[in-house]
Amino acid sequence: MKNSSEPMPLTARCRTPAKLRGALLMALAAFGLTVGANPAAASDWPMYGFNLQRTGENPFETIITPSTVAGLHLLWSFDLGAVTIMQPVLATDVIVNGSPKELVYIGAEHGDLYAIDVASGTMVWQRNLGSQQTSCHDIPDGIFGVSGSPFLDRANNRMFVVGGDGNMYALDLSTGDTLSGWPVAVTTDPAHEHTYGAVNVNNGIAYAEIASHCDFTPYHGKVVAINIANQRVRAFLPAGPRVNGGGIWGPGGVSIDPATGHVFAATGNALTNPQSYRYCENVVELSSALRVLGSNYPGLTGSDVDFGATPILYQPPGCTPMVAAKNKTGVLITYERGNVSAGPSQRLQVANVSDWQFNGIPAWSDTTHLLYIGNSSDSNSGGFMHGMVALAVDANCQLSLAWQTVVGPNFASVSPPTVAGGVVYYGDGSGRQLLAFDAVTGARLWSSRSTIGGSIYGAPMVVNGKVFVGAWDNKLYAFGL
pLDDT tens, residue by residue, 401-430: 999 999 988 988 999 999 999 999 999 999
Q: What's the mean per-residue pLDDT of the chain? A: 91
Question: Of the given ranges (6-15, 198-207, 387-396), which has the lowest mean pLDDT?
Answer: 6-15
Q: Give the model confidence (pLDDT) of 245-279 as tens digits.
A: 999 999 999 999 999 999 999 999 999 999 999 99
Binning the chain into helix, strand and coil, the percentages to the nearest 5 are 5, 35, 60
State the pLDDT at residue 14.
31
Using CA atoms in the order 158, 159, 162, 164, what is the torsion angle rounded to 10 degrees? Answer: -80
Residue type at 117? D
Pairwise CA distance, residues 372 & 352, whole Å = 17
* Residue 194, CA atoms < 13 Å, CB-side half-sphere: 31
Q: Would the pLDDT of 18 be above 60?
A: no
**Residues 6+ away with beta carbon under 8 Å from 101:** 93, 94, 95, 117, 118, 119, 124
**Residues 6+ away with beta carbon under 8 Å from 353:** 301, 302, 329, 330, 331, 380, 381
Q: Would the pLDDT of 357 be above 80?
A: no
Tell me the percentage of the chain whose pLDDT exceeds 90: 84
Q: Would the pLDDT of 35 be above 50?
A: no
Alpha-carbon distances, residue 244 vs 241, 253, 308 (angstroms): 8, 19, 17
Average pLDDT score over residue span 436-462: 97
State the pLDDT at residue 29.
46
Which 3 state secondary structure label does DSSP give 154? helix
Question: Of the given ranges (6-15, 121-130, 224-233), which has the lowest mean pLDDT?
Answer: 6-15
State the pLDDT at residue 6.
35
State the pLDDT at residue 381.
86
Average pLDDT score over residue span 33-47: 65
State the pLDDT at residue 224.
98
Nearest 5°: CA angle at 48, between 34 and 176?
A: 110
Q: Where are the beta strands (DSSP E) in 193-319?
A: 193-194, 200-202, 205-212, 222-227, 233-236, 255-256, 263-266, 283-286, 292-296, 312-314
Pairwise CA distance, residues 256 & 205, whole Å = 11
- What H or E segment, with its residue span, contains residue 24? helix 18-30
Q: Would the pLDDT of 390 be above 90?
A: yes
State the pLDDT at residue 83.
98
Q: Judging by beta carbons within 10 Å of its beta carbon (0-12, 13-18, 19+), is residue 203 exposed, middle or buried?
A: exposed
State the pLDDT at residue 409.
87
State the pLDDT at residue 354.
85
State the pLDDT at residue 355.
80
Which 3 state secondary structure label does DSSP give 348? strand
Locate the domains of the chain by residue range.
Answer: 18-480
Q: Does 1.10.579.10 match the CATH number of domain 18-480?
A: no
Query: The sheet that has 112-117: what strands, in order across it?
Result: 89-96, 99-107, 112-117, 123-128
DSSP 8-class letter at 415: P
Q: Report whether 185 contacts 208 (CB < 8 A).
A: no
Q: Judging by beta carbons within 10 Å of its beta carbon (0-12, 13-18, 19+), is residue 178 exposed, middle or buried?
A: middle
Q: Are strands 57-58 and 418-420 parallel, antiparallel or unpaired?
A: parallel
Q: What stretches of 360-418 show up as alpha helix (H) in DSSP?
A: none
If one compares 30 and 45, the residue with the highest pLDDT of the two is 45
Q: What is the CA radius of gyration of the chain?
A: 20
State the pLDDT at residue 304.
79
Q: Give the model confidence (pLDDT) of 55-68 as tens digits.
A: 999 999 999 999 99
Label residue 389 left, alpha or beta by phi (over 0 means left) and psi (-120 to 50 means alpha): beta
Q: Would the pLDDT of 116 be above 60?
A: yes
Q: Would the pLDDT of 1 be above 70?
A: no
If one compares 37 and 385, the residue with the highest pLDDT of the two is 385
State the pLDDT at residue 361.
87
Which 3 state secondary structure label does DSSP give 125? strand
State the pLDDT at residue 358.
64
Q: Would the pLDDT of 295 be above 50?
A: yes
Categorize the per-residue pLDDT at 359 as very low, low, confident or very high, splitting at 50, 70 and 90. Answer: low
Q: Would the pLDDT of 27 be above 80?
A: no
pTM of the model: 0.91
State the pLDDT at residue 306.
87
State the pLDDT at residue 8.
27
Pairwise CA distance, residues 256 & 287, whole Å = 10
